[in-house]
Structure 1
Amino acid sequence: MSARPHMRLPPPWRLWLLLACAWHGLLYAAAPAPAAAPGESVLKAAFLYRIAGLVEWPPGTFERQDDPLVVAVAGHEAVAAELEQIAAGRTLDGRPIVVRRVREGEPIAGAHVLMIGATGETRVRELAASATGPVLVVTEQENGHRLGGILNFTSDGDRVRFTASLPVADARGVRLSARLLAVAQSVEGRSR
């Protein structure tokens, strides 16, 4: 038969260390939980800011090197508010960023990026059609590309993702960088 080893008490310094760790664990467990993950509006605003830097507009889109990049937001006040905070005092490629909230009946003229919130298919189609020239149209509809969106936000649980449509981008006259397309959930019109 094998003899069981005798259990020895740890030295006093180890006992105090164990008690301190247990006490710290109790305090940590009672501490308030860390702040929640950023909301969907914050993530979409951050995406818009980053995406705008990964788009190539045709020559002549901007008259001067320091002309602002105008991001128009229709139908999503929370994204507009978050984007205003993100863009405050920042530039993209040396251009200041101007966030413009588009209200019902206001023209889209002068926008380089147009974010259209989930406001119904008819309204999305109308807004996308009213944005003339090289405009990066971003939607968040189930049929966003069919309605005129170059990029379309999707939700995957607590993650915000996007899909891209190269045919719509070509029709709008904007070019999406390979870095942007590499992180898209799917890309319509990509040759394999």
Structure 2
Amino acid sequence: MTSLAIAHHRPIPALPCWPGWLTALLALAMLCVLLSCPAIGQPAAPAVPNLERSVKAAYLFKFLGYVEFLAAKEGAEGGNALAVGVMGADDVAAELSRITAGRTVNGRPITVRTLREGEPVAGLQMVFAGAADDLPKVLRSATQSGALGVADDENGLQHGAVINFRIVEERVRFEVSLPAAERSNLKLSSRLLSVAWHVQKGN
């Protein structure tokens, strides 16, 4: 897919090649960002982080439907809800709250809350660490509680993330660690693995 560029400004990253179940959602996110620009002739650069935020939030939403939580404790964050904690990325948390409002995954509603450094993650089904002073510690806590640990760091998998966002050729992609998923007692869908940029397998 060709990147969209305006004048000489940095091109807006193209969306990754996904099956139909996510293409429409990401296309809608892109359209909303473009329509929010005050005028066509103004710089496109400010839209780039907005688009990246929307794409990452859309990914996080879809991840929930392609992971089986075998050990995560339910009930601590609102009954049968799928509870998501977001650390160091308040903008992503806000966008995720917006797109999941009134929606369910496998019949379960979704709750999103912002985490601060040092807050417990017990009872959460997914923890997204956009930024953290001690990323390995955050991801280790997610693993111990049976939650899906998602990072946004160049060395996210090495730090213990199950899924890690990467920017590849100006596109938001993600990589997956099967050993980390096993340690977290998570079962990942083959459909999720088939669209990952990279899958780290065990020895």
CA contact 1:70–1:97 (8 Å) conserved in 2? yes
2:165 is aligned to 153
- Separation in 2 of the partners of 1:117 and 1:87? 19
Q: Does 1:98 find its partner at 2:133?
A: no
Choose from 181, 185, 188 the match for 2:197: 185
Letter of the 1:178 counterpart: S
Choose from 174, 177, 190 the match for 1:162: 174
Letter of the 2:131 counterpart: A
Report the Cα offset of residue 118 of structure 1: 3.2
CA contact 2:72–2:124 (8 Å) conserved in 1? no
2:147 is aligned to 135
* Large movers: runs of 4+ above 6 Å: none
TM-score, normalising length from structure 2? 0.70
- Separation in 2 of the partners of 1:157 and 1:39? 15
CA contact 2:123–2:145 (8 Å) conserved in 1? no
Choose from 98, 112, 122 the match for 2:125: 112
Letter of the 1:44 counterpart: K
Q: Does 1:126 find its partner at 2:137?
A: yes
Choose from 187, 191, 202 the match for 1:175: 187
CA contact 1:133–1:173 (8 Å) conserved in 2? no
Aligned CA RMSD, in angstroms, stands at 2.3
Report the Cα offset of residue 162 of structure 1: 0.2
Q: What runs of 5+ residues in structure 1 fail to find an aligned partner?
A: 1-30
Q: Does 1:76 find its partner at 2:89?
A: yes
Percent of aligned pairs with the same residue? 42
Letter of the 1:146 counterpart: Q
TM-score, normalising length from structure 1? 0.74
Superposed CA deviations along residues 31-57 of structure 1, whole A, max 9, x for unmatched, are: 947x96761111000000001100011
Letter of the 1:124 counterpart: L
Superposed CA deviations along residues 111-140 of structure 1, whole A, max 9, x for unmatched, are: 1000001335xx111111222222110001
2:15 is aligned to none
CA gap of 1:99–1:60, structure 2 versus 1, over 3 A, is: closer
2:24 is aligned to none
